[in-house]
Every structure is written in C-alpha cells, then in structure tokens.
Amino acid sequence: MKHRILTVDLSSGKHDFQDVPLNLTKRYLGGRGLNAKLLFDGTSRKTDPLGPDNLLVIGAGLLTGTAIPSSSRFTISAKSPLTGGLGDGNSGGFFGPEMRFAGIGHIVIQGKAEKPVYLFMHDDSVEIRECDEIWGTSVREADGMIRKALGTDDVQILLIGPAGEKSSLVASVMNNLSRAAARGGMGAVMGSKNLKAVVVKGSRGTYVRDWGEILSLLKEIQAVLQADPWFHMFSNAGTTGLTENYNRLGVMPIRNFQEAFLEEVGPISSTEFLGRYARKRKSCFHCMIQCSHYYSAGEGDGEEGAEYESIVALGPRCGNFDLKAILQANAICNRLGLDTIGAGDAIGFLMECFQRGLITSRDADGLDLSWGNGETIAKLLRKIAFREGIGDLLADGSARAATQIGPEAERLAMHVKGQAIIASDPRGLKAWGLGYAVSSRGACHLRALPTAEYSATPEMAKRLWGTEEAADRFATAGKGRLVKWCEDVRVLSDALGLCRFITRTTFVFPEQLARLIPLVMPLELTPGELSEAGERINNLERLFNVREGFSRKNDSLPERFLKEPLSKGPSKGSVVDLEPMIDEYYEARSWDLQTGHPTAEKLIDLDLGEEMRSLSLYKT
Amino acid sequence: MGRIRIVYPHGLQAITGHADETAEIQTPSSVRDLIMYLKARYGKRFEEEMNLRSLEMGETTPFYLVLVDGCRIPEGRDSEALIGDGAEVALLPLFSGG
C-alpha cells in the first residue's frame, strides 16, 4: 500500500510525490498530526495566511479508508486567516478514503494559480485544470459541472462555494455536497489560491494482513454497538438528539449566549426533526452508526445534516426557534460553503449589537435585525458569502466585525483567538470552557471533547484525573488534568482518521488503537509510542502558535462567561473561574505557568528539539 | 410531603406517557427512593430501561444520568443524595458530542 505526500505548486504547475518517511509516520501518524508537522516546516511567522506562500494541507488519517470501521475522517490544515495561528477543519464523508485508494496520504498545495483551477488526481496522474466557468457557482452546481466535465460520477470532490472564493474567513471546504471541513477559514485559504476544487479518483486496494482478523474485529465492534443503547439512540437521531440534553443541562446558547435554557425545546428537538423533515439515514465511509440524515425542508431534497451545532448556531443563538427556517439556513450554508457555527455566531452577534443600540437597521442594508427573523438570517448568510453590504463586515467573523463597530461590541463577540465558540455554554461545563481557551485552533469542542465531565463516574475521575470533582460539571478542580488527558487521546482519532463516535468505546485508548494499526498497515506501534505521538502533536501545535506570538494571554474566554452569571435554568448563577484551571492544565502539560510556552525540557523529552531550536525565543 | 417535578427524555416518555410530571412524595427523599418509586409505578419496562448500561471511555456506566436541579447524581451516591420540596429531577440518556 502506497503512503505518499503529493506536493502541488499552483504557481509553477509542478507536482511531485514522495513516500512518507517511516520516522514521520511514527512520530506524527497522519491526518491532523502529520499535517501539523508539514505546516510547521513549510510556513513561517511571515507567512500571510491568504498569500501564496501559505500551504493548504489535506491529510487522510493513518487508518482512513481502511477496513477499520468509521475510518472516513480527514483534516485540512493551513495557517489560519481567522486566528493567525494553526488552523484546521476535519470532515467525514468519502473524500479521505478515496485519497487512500489513490495511494495518497497527504496533499500539500502551495502557490497560487493565475486563473481559477481545480486539481484532478487519478492514482499517479495529477492535472491542474482551468475552470473559469465554474468559479462563482454554488457547491452543488460546481459539483455537478465537474462531474459532467470529467464524464463520471465515480470521483470524490472537495470544493469551495462563493464564500471561499471571496475569502470569507468563515468559509468552509465541502465534500459530498453537505459535509464540511468548516473551521479555521480553510475555505478562504483555498479561495486565495484560486483553487475551486480538488478531485480524486483512486483505484488501488488497501492492505489487509488477514481478513479473518478483520472479520473478528468487525464482529467485536458490532457486538459492542448492539449492546449499547447509546448507539441505537445515536444511530436514530444523530447529533440532533443533543438539543434536548444540552438544554436540560442549561448550556444551550440562546441569543448570543445571553441565556442558556429554554422552557420548551420541543419545536427544535430531534423528535420534530425526525418526524417532519428527516427522510433517510446517511452514512460516511464504512460506518455502522450512520448518524447523519438526508432531510427536506422546502429547498429541494437530498440536503444532509443537520447537526446539533448547526441547528443551535442558526437557531437559538440567533433567537430563531423555527426549525424549518433553521434547516433552510443550514442548506444555504452548505450550498454557499459557509461554516454554520462561524456564520451563525456572526449573525447572533449582529443581532445583539442591534438589541443594544450599537448598530441600526440602516447600518445593515435596511434589514430587520430583530431576534429570530428567519428571513433576515437567510439574507445575511448570502451577504456574508458574497461579501455584500453588511455581509462584508460579518464575513470575517464576529471578532473582527466587533473591532469595526466599537469597544462595546467587542464585549459581545463570542470567540477565542478569533474563532467562534460552539454551542455549549461553558458556565455550566467548566472543562469545556478550559478546552475552548487552550485549543490550538481557537474555540473548539473537539480538541478535548471532555464529555467525561458529565458522564464519568466519580471513581473513574479520581483514578484518572486525581479528584472526583473532575466529574462534577460545576467544579474547577481536576479540569486541567481532564482536558490534557482528553486532548492527548482525542488527537489520536484525528491523526488516525477515526470518527469520534466510534472512539467513545474502548477504542479511545492507545492500547486498543495500537491493536488496529497492524491489521491494515504494514506497521506496528506500541501503545506507548501512540501515547507519545498524541502528546507530541499537541505540543507541536502549541509550538506553531508560540512561533506566531501566542502566549497565556491568548488562552482566554469572552468576558461574558467570566463575569455574567446565567439567569435561569439548571446552570443558573454559574460563571467560569478560568485561571486556576489554566494553571492546572499548564502544570499537567509541563508548560511555563507565566507564558504558556512548552518548556525546553518537555519539548526535548518529546523529541521536538529540532522544532524548538527553530524558534528564536528558545535560543536564549 | 413535598412536590417535585420529574422530566423524562424521549425514550422514557413512551413508557410514562408524558414528558414531565409533578409528583407528591415524602421529602426529603433519596434519589434511589425516587427511582424505586418510579419503577414500581411504571412497571417492568421502566425498570428495564433504567437498568440499561452503556460504554463510556471503556467503562460500563448507567445509560440514564440522573440530574437533581442540574447536578448529576452518580449511581452509588443516589442513596445519599436527597431531594427536597420543589426540586426538579431530570433523567437524561448518556450523550456525547457537539
């Protein structure tokens, strides 16, 4: 099985393949891990995120596209135009596995094409094709035009919509029409290179050591899934089922995080979604869970989603409780190539600015910015994608928009490092708040995903994180160790290309993950090597951000979470006491308490000495 | 006697027949006593549902989380945790993700 890095220079039109050196595979695995290494080495502090010298790295996980179940994931990384630090978006679907079938682990795209182009790869063949006629079209239109031009449906396509072309910093990169690598402004980086799409067709097989072992593994996993009611619930409702649960914890953001609890959540619940709009379940590559859905909400059939994050971002965060309008807004984001979280956050922010008299309807092209106006939300999404009128301001996300509106508005922008907060209020989930603050890509729930905060037993919390309080969502103690532990195991999912929902089982642990690798790769890694790789990747990402000037001051949360207690619901009265959690987190990571920089001892211990010495601040 | 509000998730609504209810019970009562009371009231299907087990990070845990006024009461601590007059008890299926 080939495991290669394809480098394409859009400026010169040249490309080359290189085998991934074994030592890089062992140190960084693949996906997010090796992406971070390629990005660290290939960019500098001077790199303009939207300039030709930025890299766009598309990385399949080490196990992506193999016989291991739920191995669909891939990561797109670049220096982020949204945060100025390391950026990435992760997606499921079928694109990552197709890369693997073409014998490609990572695609590194540099330079900038003179005219709009798309990249077409078929095993060892690589073509850069001009596509003036496709530039300006929606994701759905472009997908169809490319398939028609190639004369086949049997390809996988990664592409941007108008939002990416206009370098909106909340632009996503889409695949399979509705699946998004949405975060970090990766769509803007792709657009800045005049790159509309990346198309791949692979015809190689993948390695299997022994089919008998694979069948045994599949039976083992199937038995776990069938015995666990969680999987039945999740298979049925997907992440839409989270709406009721997060609301019941009092952490579902409403009206730009002014509140976090609804007395009546029924109209936007999974029951409503499944009963009225969902049409058919949908799976990513080789997955038994099948958590996604096709739905129809009045703008054609075959839209996919919607996820909890998108429902809340385009719904309650904007005061919108009309599920049909939310689903239509989700479809608009998919077609225009927008991050539902970033775009919804920007609109909710604008509506709160209006509520507080910081802007007027006249400032916003005459739109009615009252909370919950579904028509306005749909119009704003289009304006953001095409950078029209007020949309030009919002297209760079709420943090940058706030600096244009004024100091009072900056207090209302709900972001970390420029990236919008996701749909769980940290005032009722303290470890999540810490996870947002320290995440290497700006506000993010998936870096840590510390669900143990509300689901682990106190005994498990004491054993793994030193105190039973780690399993108390309102407590502060133990959360630093919990988040560090979670980050170091979750990163393995991203580097291996496995879905978070399969790795909530025993396959979250390095001991179990190490079992999988030799089944589908001619490679053996010990659990210890995997653990070290996880910690190494997190430290390299931190080092990337240190190089860009980040320090402890950037590990922050919006003032609202620190000073404004929630006024009602099960998390009433709570705020985040962030600094003690950051201290504990840095101690667990062996990072400097004052600066938040990894210590030289830790970096050398993780075999990151060479990377460390490339930074001037470690030379003194 | 005191009045408490009990909130049921979708899976339990099919058994109890409602999304929530107000019950009059002796207060303070323990969470374990309340669950026993509900099992007796709603019968075998409710009991089977509450006995479901899930896998969370490799460890077997109850599928349903019990929250009293938003605070989770882990199994094993439910005999100590008391429910007072006016409390809200929510039963939530285990969930993860975002």
Residue A311 is part of a domain; what is its CATH number? 1.10.569.10
Q: Which of A245, A268, A310, A501 to mutate to test the interface with B (most CBs of B within 10 A)?
A: A245
Residue A171 β-bridge partners: A338
Quote the pLDDT of residue A301.
66
Name, in order, each residue with C-beta under 8 angstroms of A184's C-beta and a sequence gap of 6 or more.
A78, A80, A82, A83, A87, A88, A89, A419, A441, A442
Task: Flag whether A226 is in a domain.
Answer: no
Quote the pLDDT of residue A300.
61
Query: Residue A190 in contact with residue A203, Cβ under 8 Å?
Result: no
User: 3-state SS of B26-51?
Assistant: CCCEEHHHHHHHHHHHHCHHHHHHHC
Q: What angle do CA A562, A419, A473 make, to 5 degrees?
A: 40
Q: What is the mean pLDDT of each run of 10 residues along chain A (620 residues)?
A: 91 98 96 98 98 98 96 98 98 98 97 98 98 98 98 98 98 96 98 98 93 93 90 92 94 98 94 94 94 86 88 98 96 97 98 98 98 98 98 98 97 98 97 98 96 91 96 97 97 96 84 94 95 98 98 98 97 97 98 98 98 90
- Measuring CA to CA, how many Å separate A463 from each of A219, A471, A489, B13? 31, 11, 16, 35
Residue A38 structure tokens: 């390629």
Task: Flag whether A441 is in a domain.
Answer: yes
**Cα–Cα distance between A512 and A39 in angstroms, integer?**
29
| Domain match, A372 and A454 both | no
**Residue type present at position A376:** T
Quote the pLDDT of residue A63.
96
Quote the pLDDT of residue A194.
98
Distance from the Cα of B17 to chain A's closest Cα (Å) equals 15
Q: Which of A350, A381, A9, A4 is nearest to A161 (CA)?
A: A381
Write the Ramachandran bin of A58: left for phi over 0, alpha for psi from -120 to 50, otherwise beta.
beta
Domains annotated on chain B, with CATH: 2-93 (3.10.20.30)
User: Which of A413, A438, A453 is the endpoint of a domain?
Assistant: A413
**Cα–Cα distance between A370 and A94 in angstroms, integer?**
40
| Domain match, A138 and A188 both | yes
Quote the pLDDT of residue A28.
98
| Domain match, A65 and A168 both | yes
Quote the pLDDT of residue A332.
96
| Domain match, A434 and A545 both | yes
User: Which of A383, A413, A443 is the endpoint of a domain?
Assistant: A413
Task: Flag whether A184 is in a domain.
Answer: yes
| Domain match, A191 and A83 both | yes
How confident is the model over B1-54, as pLDDT tens digits? 899 999 998 889 999 999 999 999 888 899 999 999 999 999 999 999 999 999
Task: Flag whether A231 is in a domain.
Answer: no
**Cα–Cα distance between A408 and A412 in angstroms, integer?**
7
Tell me phi and psi for residue A180, to 5 degrees: -125, 135
How confident is the model over B39-86, as pLDDT tens digits? 999 999 999 999 999 988 888 889 999 999 999 998 888 888 899 999
Nearest to B94 among A230, A471, A512 (CB): A230
| Domain match, A408 and A370 both | yes
Task: Flag whether A596 is in a domain.
Answer: yes
| Domain match, A581 and A454 both | yes
Beta strands in A150-194, from DSSP E residues, in sequence order = 156-159, 173-175, 179-181
| Domain match, A271 and A355 both | yes
Task: Flag whether A465 is in a domain.
Answer: yes
**Cα–Cα distance between A461 and A614 in angstroms, integer?**
38
Quote the pLDDT of residue B57.
80
Quote the pLDDT of residue A146.
98
Residues of B in contact with A224 (CB under 8 A): 55
Query: Residue A270 in contact with residue A327, Cβ under 8 Å?
Result: no
Q: Where are the alpha helices (DSSP H) in A277-339?
A: 308-314, 323-336
Q: Which of B86, B34, B62, B65 is nearest to A246 (CA)?
A: B65
Give residue A498's domain range. 430-618
Place of tokens 């599949």: A218
Quote the pLDDT of residue A299.
63
Quote the pLDDT of residue A381.
98
Tell me phi and psi for residue A578, to 5 degrees: -75, -45
Residue A163 structure tokens: 């939002």
| Domain match, A434 and A409 both | no
Task: Flag whether A567 is in a domain.
Answer: yes
Task: Flag whether A358 is in a domain.
Answer: yes
Distance from the Cα of B54 to chain A's closest Cα (Å) equals 5
**Cα–Cα distance between A311 and A240 in angstroms, integer?**
8
Coil, strand or helix at A539:
helix
Query: Residue A387 in contact with residue A168, Cβ under 8 Å?
Result: yes
Distance from the Cα of B44 to chain A's closest Cα (Å) equals 17
Place of tokens 């890694």: A525
| Domain match, A435 and A570 both | yes
User: Which of A360, A383, A413 is the endpoint of a domain?
Assistant: A413
Residues of A in contact with B98 (CB under 8 A): 239, 242, 308-309, 422-424, 445-446, 449
Q: Which of B56, B88, B91 to mutate to test the interface with A (most CBs of A within 10 A)?
A: B56
**Residue type present at position A405:** I
| Domain match, A407 and A457 both | no
CATH code for the domain of A90: 3.60.9.10
User: 3-state SS of A579-595?
Assistant: HHHHHHHHHHHCECCCC
| Domain match, A384 and A441 both | no
Query: Residue A602 in contact with residue A589, Cβ under 8 Å?
Result: yes
Domain count, chain A: 3
ipTM over 0.95: no
